[in-house]
Amino acid sequence: MTLTSPARPNDPRSEDRWLVSRRSVLAGAGAAGAVAGMDLAARPALATPRTDAAAAQAAGADVRLGAGTNFGVRLSPDGTRIAHDALGVLWVGSSSGGTLRRLTSDYDDIAQPDWSPDGKLIAYQGYREGNFDLWTIRPDGSGRRRLTSGPADHREPRWSPDGRYLAFSSDVRGSYGIYTYDTRTGRIAVVTQTDAEEYEPTWSPDGKRIAFVVAKTKIEAVTVASGARTTLVEGRKGDEISQPQFTPDGATVVYHLFRAGQNSLMRGDAPLVEGRPSTPSA
């Protein structure tokens, strides 16, 4: 990917649609593999800055960055674009490579982008107002909208298959639970809330269930209409499980597993990628 850095605006909070970040390094993720035709992006971790990146950006030059870590990627519904978070900035670009377009400023501090099913909006969590709230923005950088507010965090938005709802996690009642936001009415509804930490929701392809992580140790799914819960994956003692994603047929989930110092990308009980940090990306 090529990052083209223009001169920085005088106002650091300018809402101009910069083409690239002022940050000195963009940490990236290599492809982990593919499941049923879906590209899989790498799990966040720490990266080492390139020493020439800051000088190149200060001079307004292009910065070319290859493989790295510490960001997430979501593929657009038509497969032609990616939404990409890196060090708190939202980028959009072609899935075939090339220049990434910057949509947000450093002060938005975004993460967890997700495309609406029609590809017209990107939802994300942003820390611009002092807590993580849900936001949406168009892929061209226009129409930014804040959906939630208040002292609690609202994180990890994921669009329902019909495009009406966003599933997300929130600690509004103490521990994190799973909620939905109705994009037509603005109504927030509880899906599941217990004393355990429950987060990282993902919708089944038919929109009837939401899978999520419970306290790093297992993945459960709840039927939205009834509230019935089932366990999809249960780890061993010491395991850390994260980033579930339903397979296109809804039969199982792909997820990241950290076990005994080893990172694996799993599909059900079977490893897909071993030996490097990887997470699924729809």
Which string of DSSP letters, residue by residue, matches the chain?
-EEE-PPPPSSTT-----SS-SSS--------EEETTEEEPPPP---PPPTTHHHHHHTT-EEE--S--SEEEEE-TTSSEEEEEETTEEEEEETT-SBPEE-S-GGG-EEEEEE-TTSS-EEEEE-TTSS-EEEEE-TTS---EE---SSS-EEEEEE-TTSSEEEEEEEEESEEEEEEEETTT--EEEEE--SS-EEEEEE-TTSSEEEEEETTTEEEEEETTT--EEEEEEPPTT-EEEEEEE-TTSSSEEEEEEETTEEEEEETTEEEEESS------
Q: What is the pLDDT of residue 279?
A: 56
Quick one: which of 35, 124, 119 has its CA closest to 76?
A: 119
| β-pair partners for 62 | 4
Q: What is the pLDDT of residue 257?
A: 95
The better pLDDT of the pair 172, 282 is held by: 172
- Amino acid at residue number 221: A
* Residues 21 and 4 sit within 8 Å (Cβ to Cβ): no
Count the Cβ atoms, other than its own, within 10 Å of residue 101: 21
Domain region containing 172: 2-274
Q: What is the pLDDT of residue 1?
A: 56
Q: What is the pLDDT of residue 276?
A: 63
Q: 180 lies in a domain?
A: yes
Return the half-sphere exposure (C-beta side, CA atoms, 13 A cut-off) of residue 231. Answer: 6
Q: What is the pLDDT of residue 22?
A: 22
Q: What is the pLDDT of residue 63?
A: 57
User: Would the pLDDT of 100 be above 50?
Assistant: yes
Residue 142, phi-psi category: left (phi > 0), alpha (psi -120 to 50), beta (remainder): beta
Could you give the number of structural domains in the chain? 1
Average pLDDT of every residue of the chain? 80
Q: 126 lies in a domain?
A: yes
Q: 280 lies in a domain?
A: no
Q: What are phi and psi of 79, to 5 degrees?
A: 80, 5
Mean pLDDT of 216-238: 96
Q: Quick one: pLDDT band at residue 70, thresholds 50, 70, 90?
A: low
User: Would the pLDDT of 104 be above 80?
Assistant: yes
C-alpha torsion angle, residues 235, 252, 191, 109 (rounded to 10) = 80
Q: 234 lies in a domain?
A: yes
Q: 282 lies in a domain?
A: no
Q: What is the pLDDT of residue 277?
A: 54
Q: What is the pLDDT of residue 135?
A: 98
The better pLDDT of the pair 54, 206 is held by: 206
For residues 61 and 44, what is the distance between their CA atoms, to the nearest angstrom?
27
Mean pLDDT of 141-158: 96
Quick one: which of 86, 133, 84, 131 has its CA closest to 106?
A: 86
Q: Quick one: pLDDT band at residue 49, thresholds 50, 70, 90?
A: very low
What are 46-51's contacts with CB under 8 Å, separation 24+?
46/70, 49/24, 49/25, 50/25
Mean pLDDT of 215-220: 96
CATH number at residue 202: 2.120.10.30
Q: Using one digit for the tens of pLDDT, what is the confidence trace for 3-42?
A: 443 333 333 333 333 333 222 322 233 232 233 333 333 3
Q: 279 lies in a domain?
A: no
Q: 281 lies in a domain?
A: no
